[in-house]
Structure 1
Amino acid sequence: MNQVQQLHHKKVLVLGLAKSGFTAARILNQLGAFVTVNDSKPFAENPEAQELLNAGVTVICGRHPEDLLDEGFELVVKNPGIPYTNIIIQSAIEKGIPIWTEIELAYLISEAPFIGITGSNGKTTTTTLLFHMLNQDKKKPLIAGNIGTVAAGVAEKATPENVIVTELSSFQLKGTETFRPQIAIITNLYEAHLDYHGSIEDYRASKMKIAQNQTKDDYFIYNADQPLLAAFAAKCQAQLIPFTLKGRTEESISADGEFVYWQGEKLIERSKIMLGGQHNLENILAATAAALLWGGTKETIIRVLTSFTGVKHRSQFIVSWKGRKFYNDSKATNALATKSALEAFPGQIVLLAGGLERNHSLEELRPYMNRVKVLITFGETADRFADFAENCGVSTIAKAGDMQDAVEKAVGHSESGDTILLSPACASWDQYDSFEIRGDAFINAVQRVTEANE
C-alpha cells in the first residue's frame, strides 16, 4: 500500500460507515490522518464504530451534529449513498472542503493500476466478464467497487502485478479528484438517479469523470452508438476505443448480426456466445476490448464467451428443459430493465412479473409486449400489471400467489421453444427482502418443477 504523505496528520471526517466508510476510516487512521467518524446508527448497535474507537478513531454516533464541521476538517470522505443535499455535505461545499468517496482513497493507496467500468446499464456484467477473461489468462486481476467489494480494501493489498477491475457508480465517481484508470469503460448512458444528482447534467458529468484524468497513455472504451458519448470521447485525451453494434468496422471492436469483429477481423460467431441479448452484446464488446488491450489472448476470450452464462439475477441462464429456456432477471426492478430483457430474447416469452407497488409507469414496456405470449403476475402490482398486459393484447394472463405457483403456472402455459423469463419490473420488498432472495426462490422453484416432471 502506498503511504500517501498528503494524508498524514490531515484532519478527516468520514461521514457514514457501512462497508466503505469503515474501510476508509481504518485505512486513513493507518496512514496517520486524524480521523473522526460520524454515523447515524447508535454506538451500542454499531460494531464498526466500536472497533474504530478501539483503534484510536474519534467516533460520533446516533446523530449528525449541525456544527460538526466547526472542528476544522480539511477533508470529508462520505459514503456514496449520502446525498449532496445532506446538511453536513452542504456545509462542506460552502466551506470549500474537498469531498471524496473511498474510490479516490483507493486510487491513491493502490500499487496496482485500475480498469474502471461505469454506465447506466451493464456495469456488473461487464466487470464480471472482464474479470473472468483476465483471470483465465493469469493476468492477476482483482475485482472491486460497486459490485460489492470495497475498492480501498482491495487496493490496500494489491501489488504492482495486479490490476483492479472496478465497477463504478455515478455516486462513487462524483467524489473523485485524481482517479485515473488506465482503461476506462462507459457501456451506455441513459437518464437515471435524478433524485440523487438533481439534474441529468450532474448525472452525466459524474459518469464522465471516469475518463477526465486520462492521458494519451490510457484507453477510453465507449459506446459509439450513443451520440452523447461519441461527443464526449472527442474531448478526451486517452486513446479512443469505440464499440458499435451497427456492423463491422475496421477499427476497434464491432458486431453485426452474425459476428463480433476485432479490428475488422472475425473474432467469434454470435451464435456461439452463451450470454444472450442485444443489451449484453454491448457488455461483451466492452469487456473483450479491455481484455485484448490488457494483453489477453483471443483463445481465452473465446473460451469465456462460449461458457459465461451471466451474473446471478441479471438475465442469468438457469436451465434448458423440454425445449424451454429459463432465465432469472430478478435484478430488473424497474420497467426500463425489463424492457431490455424483453428486447433481448428471441421467440415467444412467458413473462413472470410484479412486486412492490411504487405506482411507476409500465408504458416503456408497451412496444415489447407483443413478445409476451403469457404473463404470470404476482405481488402488489399483480392486478395493475394484468390490466396493462390485457390492454397491450396479451391473451393469456394468470395470477400467482408465490414464486413456486408462478413457475408452475408458467410451465403449464408454455411449450417447446418458449423462453420462461423472471423479469419483475418491480422491487421485491412486498414479498422478499431483496431481489437476490426473490431470484433464488425462482431458481429453486424451477429446479423443483423440472425435476418433478422429467
Structure 2
Amino acid sequence: MDYKNKKVLVIGMAKSGVSSAALLCRLGADVTIYDVKKREDLPKDLLHELDGFSYRDMLGQDPMDKIPEMDILVLSPGVPLGLPFIRRAYELGKQVIAEIELGFAVSKADFIAITGTNGKTTTTALTGEIFKNAGISTHVLGNIGVPITQEAMQTAPGDVVVAETAALQLDTIESYRPRESAILNITEDHLDRYGTMENYIAAKAKIFKNQTPKDYCVLNFDNDIVRELEPQIKAKVVWFSVSTVPPNGAYVKDGVICFSLDGKELDIMPAEELRIPGRHNLENALAATALACLYGISAEVIANTLRTFPGVEHRIEFVRTVNGVTFINDSKGTNPDATLNAIRAMVRPTVLILGGYDKKSDFVPLYQAFTPMIKAVIVLGDTAGKLIEAAENCGYQNYIRANGFEDAVLKAYSIADEGDNVLLSPACASWDMFRNFEERGRIFKEIVNGL
C-alpha cells in the first residue's frame, strides 16, 4: 500500500506507536499522534524518535471530530477497540489496523510468527538465535521489545523477521501472513480484556488467519485447546510434543530431540543437553526446532544453539546466592500457568513471591498444583486478598502478606534457609506497581544485589 499523503491517526504513544508514527512520516503520510495522556505526562524522551518529522499532535485531546477526515487508524497493542472514536471509525468504514500489520506491509522479509499464552519470548529469542547462527539476516521483533515498524524499512528480500506476536497485536490484523506460525499453548489469561476464553482463543487463532497451504503452522500437540484448532487451519500443520511422537513435527524419542516431515526423521541432539531448564523450556525448544527445520536450517546449527542458548532475562533467571539462599527472577510469570512452569523447574525448597495487577485469573488451580518444593508464599499487590482467599480455600496456610515489593523480598529472604530458593514469579501483571514486568524484574534484582 502507498501511504504517501494518507491521513493516518496513530493511537497509543508507547514504543510501538512512536515507531509506527516515525515509519509513516518516512513514508510520506500525513500523521496525527494520539494518546489519552498529554505530552508532559508521557515518559521523558519517549517522542524523541519523531524529532525532525512533521506531524499533528492530539495528545490528551478527544480525536472524535478528526475521525471523518482520517484514512487509516493504526492501533498500538492493548488499545481498547470499544473506544467511542474507534467505533466511529468502523462505522465510517475507515481502515483500522494493528502496528504489526503496518510493519508487515512495509517489510520485505519472510515472517516467522510465534504466539501463545506462555513461552513466546523465550521461543522467539531462541528461534532468532538459531536463524542468526545459520547465517540468515534475522530481525527479532514484535512483543519481545522492538516494534516491527522500527525495523520494517531496513529489511530486504531474503531476510527473516522472527516476531513475538501477542493476542493484543492480532486483534486488528488484515493481511498479516507469516510464512511460518507457531502457537505454543493457550491457557487462561487477559480475561480482563477479552471477557471469555472463547474470545481470547479467537484472538490467538488470527495468527494463521491469512496463511495458505504454502505456509506452515506449528502447534502444541499436548495442549488440548491448541490441538483443537487444527481443522480451522489452511496451512500445513506441523506438531511439537514432549509426550508423544506426532506424524509430522518435533518430539523426544529415546531421549533424543527429533524432527520428522513426510516420513523423513532427523536426529537433532540428546534432550538432556538442552541448556535452558524445565519441561516448558523443552517445549519451547521443540517449537523452535520445528520452525528452523521447516526453513531448511541444519540439525548441527540447531543443536549447537540449543546447547548454548542461556535463556532470556526475567524468565527463571538466576540473580544471586546470598548466605546460601538463591534468588530467581521470573517476573515474566504474569499468569498462573507461567508461574506453574517456574514452580515445576524448582528442585530445592522455595519461597514464592506472588501478586500484582488483577487480570481476573483464578488462583485456586495454582495452589492445588503446588509441588512439595513450595515451603511458603509471600503475597502482595492488588491481588493479595484474592491470593489469600484462594490459599485458604485450598487449605494452604503458609502465606505471609507483604507491605510493598521490597518488604516482600525481605520477608522471603528472612524465612528462607540455607539451600533454599526465593522465586519471584507473581502469576499477575505488574501494572499495579510498575510500568511493566521488566521494571519489576530489574527492581527485584536491585533489591537482591543490595542485600
Which residue number corresponds to residue 311 of structure 1?
Answer: 312
- Equivalent position amino acid for 1:327 in 2: I
User: RMSD value over aligned CA atoms?
Assistant: 3.3
Give the aligned partner of residue 156 of structure 2.
Answer: 159
1:8 equivalent to 2:9? Answer: no
Q: CA deviation at 1:212?
A: 1.8
- In the superposition, relative to structure 1, how do residues 256 and 326 fare at CA in structure 2: closer, same or farther (>3 Å)? farther
**Which SS does the other structure have where 1:61 is aligned?**
coil
Q: Deviations over 1:221-278 (max 9, x none)?
A: 1112234433433332322211122223453211368332212554332222121222
Letter in 2 for 1:87: P
> Which piece of structure 1 moves more, 266-275 or 88-97?
266-275
Whether contact under 8 Å (1:185, 1:286) holds in the other structure is yes
Task: Please give the per-residue CA displacement for 1:88-142, whole angstroms capped at 9, x wherever unaligned.
Answer: 1111122221210121111111121111111111111110111111122221211
Query: Is contact 1:141–1:164 with CA below 8 Å preserved after alignment?
Result: yes
Which moved further from structure 2: 369-378 or 289-298?
369-378
Give the AA of the match of 2:24: L
Q: Which amino acid aligns with 1:229?
A: V
With 382-391 and 326-335 compared, the bigger mean Cα shift is at 382-391
Matches within 5 A, 1:147-296: 147-249=144-246, 251-255=248-252, 258-263=255-260, 264-296=265-297
**Residue in 1 aligned with 2:369?**
368
Contact 1:377/1:383 (<8 A) preserved: no
Residue 31 (structure 1) aligned with residue 36 (structure 2): no
Question: Partner amino acid for 1:200?
Answer: M
Count of residues paired in the alignment: 440
Say if 2:62 is the partner of 1:61: no
Q: Counterparts in 2 of 1:364-443, with a 5 A limit?
A: 364-377=365-378, 379-380=380-381, 402=407, 405-406=410-411, 408-409=413-414, 411-412=416-417, 414-415=418-419, 420-428=422-430, 434-443=436-445
The residue number in structure 2 matching 1:89 is 86
Equivalent residues of 2:351, 2:416 under 8 A apart = no
* Post-superposition offset of 1:157: 0.9
Task: Flag the 1:32–1:397 CA change in 2: closer, same or farther, 3 A.
Answer: closer
- Cα distance change, pair 241–319 in 1 and its aligned pair in 2 (3 A): farther
What TM-score do you get using the length of structure 2 for normalisation? Answer: 0.85
**Do residues 339 (structure 1) and 340 (structure 2) align?**
yes
Distance in 1 (CA, whole Å) between partners of 2:285 and 2:22 is 36
Does 2:104 correspond to 1:107? yes
Structure 2 unaligned segments of length 5 or more: list them.
Answer: none
Residue 128 (structure 1) aligned with residue 125 (structure 2): yes
User: Is the CA contact 2:335–2:427 (under 8 Å) kept in the aligned structure 1?
Assistant: yes
The 1-side partners of 2:214 and 2:109 are apart by: 16
- Quote the Cα distance in structure 2 between the aligned partners of 1:11 and 1:429: 33
- What is the alpha-carbon distance in structure 1 between the residues aligned to residue 236 and residue 204 of structure 2? 18
Confirm or deny that 1:20 pairs with 2:28: no
Percent of aligned pairs sharing the same letter: 34
Is 1:41–2:43 an aligned residue pair? no
Query: In the TM superposition, what is the alpha-carbon distance from 1:206 to its structure 2 partner?
Result: 2.2
How far does residue 323 in structure 1 lie from its aligned partner after superposition? 9.2
Deviation at 1:312, TM superposition (A): 1.1
Amino acid at match of 1:143: V
Aligned to 2:207, the other structure's residue is in SS state coil
**CA–CA separation in structure 1 for the residues paired with 2:48 and 2:266:** 58
Cα distance 1:429–1:57, how it changes in 2: closer, same or farther (>3 A)?
closer
Return 328-337 or 143-152, whichever deviates more. Answer: 328-337
Which structure: larger Rg? 1
Aligned counterparts of 1:305 and 1:419: Cα–Cα separation in 2: 26
2:208 match: secondary structure? coil
